[in-house]
């Protein structure tokens, strides 16, 4: 699987000829280096409705014709903004897709659109596929429900927020990595804005001393997982 990091919590995962884009935030993202008009996607998964996860959602969805997946309130909002190809869901599942299956899992956060519309429950996504299994936590605090993840899947990697203030910080992300029984973590949602600046070298060292890898791809970088 290939993961491309676009800055903040925007990334794509490519496998089996499909490209899955997560939380498209290019416009307004001071860290972004990619022109959103060039981003391709077969699917777009939306963890929640905050502006730093959806600023380019409608435009990329319309241009690419990608299937947009997220809370039913998020997909309903998309429908009302002219995006027809959607799959509404909620915590639960698993939901079969042509690349594998996805569960919506708890995220301790909030979810409203910049225009004030209700975004439903914020969530994380657990992907089980013939190639690899992975978990994107979305924006969330550390929570005990993360301990459910290993009941459903043996993870190959996880994408966790590590910037603190709005989400887990690196210390809590390390606890989360234990809860989900995963040794390979891609950190997101850090350094984009002053309140979420972290000491990345210390974070990587803390993960390493716990026998885990904290991967922090550069903006625009593609890594193999
Ligand atoms: Ni958020
Ligand atoms: Mn966020």
Cα–ligand 1 centroid distance for 151 (angstroms): 26
Question: How far, in Å, from the CA of 127 to the mean position of ligand 2?
Answer: 20
Nearest ligand to the CA of 190 is 2
pLDDT level of residue 116 (50, 70, 90 thresholds): very high
The CA 107 to ligand 1 mean position distance, Å, reads 10
139 CA to middle of ligand 2, Å?
A: 6
Q: In the prediction, which pLDDT does 95 show?
A: 98
**pLDDT for the residue numbered 72:** 98
Structure tokens at 55: 């600023």
- Kindly identify the ligand whose nearest atom is closest to the C-alpha of 8: 2
Structure pTM?
A: 0.98
Instruction: Tell me how far the alpha carbon of residue 50 lies from the centroid of ligand 1, in angstroms.
Output: 5
* Mean pLDDT value across residues 165-183: 98
**34-45: per-residue pLDDT in tens?**
999 999 999 999
Ligand 2 centre to CA of 53 (Å) is 6
Q: Which domains does the chain have, with CATH numbers?
A: 2-224 (3.60.15.10)
| Per-residue pLDDT, 63 | 98
* pLDDT of res. 133: 98
Q: Which ligand is nearest to the CA of 25?
A: 2
Q: Say what the pLDDT of residue 96 is.
A: 98
């Amino acid at each position: 699987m290939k993961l491309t990091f676009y800055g903040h919590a925007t990334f794509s995962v490519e496998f089996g000829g499909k490209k899955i884009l997560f939380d498209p935030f290019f416009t307004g993202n001071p860290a972004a280096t990619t022109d959103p008009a060039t981003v391709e996607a077969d699917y777009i998964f939306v963890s929640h409705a905050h502006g730093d996860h959806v600023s380019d959602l409608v435009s990329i969805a319309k241009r690419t014709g990608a299937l947009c997946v997220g809370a039913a309130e998020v997909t309903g909002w998309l429908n009302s903004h002219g995006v027809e190809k959607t799959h509404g869901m909620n915590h639960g599942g698993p939901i079969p897709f042509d690349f594998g299956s996805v569960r919506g899992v708890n995220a301790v956060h909030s979810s409203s659109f910049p225009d004030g519309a209700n975004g439903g429950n914020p969530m994380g996504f657990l992907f089980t596929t013939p190639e690899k299994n992975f978990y994107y936590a979305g924006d969330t605090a550390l929570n005990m429900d993360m301990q459910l993840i290993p009941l459903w899947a043996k993870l190959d990697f996880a994408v966790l927020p590590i910037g603190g203030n709005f989400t887990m910080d690196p210390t809590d992300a390390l606890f989360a990595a234990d809860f989900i029984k995963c040794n390979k973590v891609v950190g997101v949602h850090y350094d984009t804005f002053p309140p979420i600046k972290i000491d990345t070298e210390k974070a990587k060292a803390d993960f390493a001393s716990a026998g885990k890898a904290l991967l922090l791809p550069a903006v625009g970088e593609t890594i193999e997982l």
